[in-house]
Amino acid sequence: MDEVNLIQRIVIWALPVLFAITVHEVAHGWMALKLGDRTAMMLGRLTLNPIKHIDPIGTLLVPALMLLVGGFIFGWAKPVPVTWENLRQPKRDMALVAAAGPLANLAMMVFWVVVLKLGLALAEDFSWVAQPLTYMSVAGIFINVVLMVLNLLPLPPLDGGRVVSGLLPDRLAWHYNRIEPYGFLILLVLFFTQVLGKIMWPIISAVFGGLFLVAAVPWDLFMNILQAII
């Protein structure tokens, strides 16, 4: 696969990144609504309009910098507000609200696999449409797997941390939640020391392996396309 230029990378990654982080946040708000909290709905956050969810740093600056330096792409949106007092069973329901985000990424990953299969099927006769579909679907699969695995790490305030908190006894959950003010700092330290990658990449590889085994997508083909668009 030929490597793409900067403008092409922006076009390839823009929609998958915006779609991934937007649907992730909407899933939190939708689950909260089903469990009794209408905060996100009243603030207009239950919409797929990405403008409502854009975080200047996480949605624009970080992905742009990663595109410029040629690293893998990820980002985040403004968190959807949840008023836990409105939930019917606050402790349990906060865990369910947290789990909805990674589950949304899993669903989007499956969606992009279907798009990838479509692009590969069209490659011979309709290469002009197959190539953009293929490149964009690989970006979509990658960003959603990364976001899903990252958010499932058991570190408050990540979604995985909130799920763990919901499963722990009250006293242990209280102590565990005291980590939250330092969670982002811990995440940055893990990232810059490359420990985060060592934790995440085996899990990401396992998800890819299982996914492509079921979907019958060649691993080498996927990695060649991914290397071309990063």
Active site residues: 25
H or E element in which residue 21 lies:
helix 6-34
* Cis-peptide, bond into residue 154, ω within 30° of zero: no
Nearest to 63 by CA among 47, 76, 48: 76
Instruction: Tell me the C-alpha distance between 83 and 221, whole Å.
Output: 45
Q: How far apart, in Å, do the first and last CA atoms of the chain sit?
A: 12
The dihedral formed by the CA atoms of 4, 122, 21 and 82, expressed in degrees to the nearest 10: 180
Cα dihedral sign for 107, 154, 159, 186?
negative
Evaluate whether 171 touches 91 at the Cβ level (below 8 Å). Answer: no
Instruction: Tell me the C-alpha distance between 127 and 229, whole Å.
Output: 17
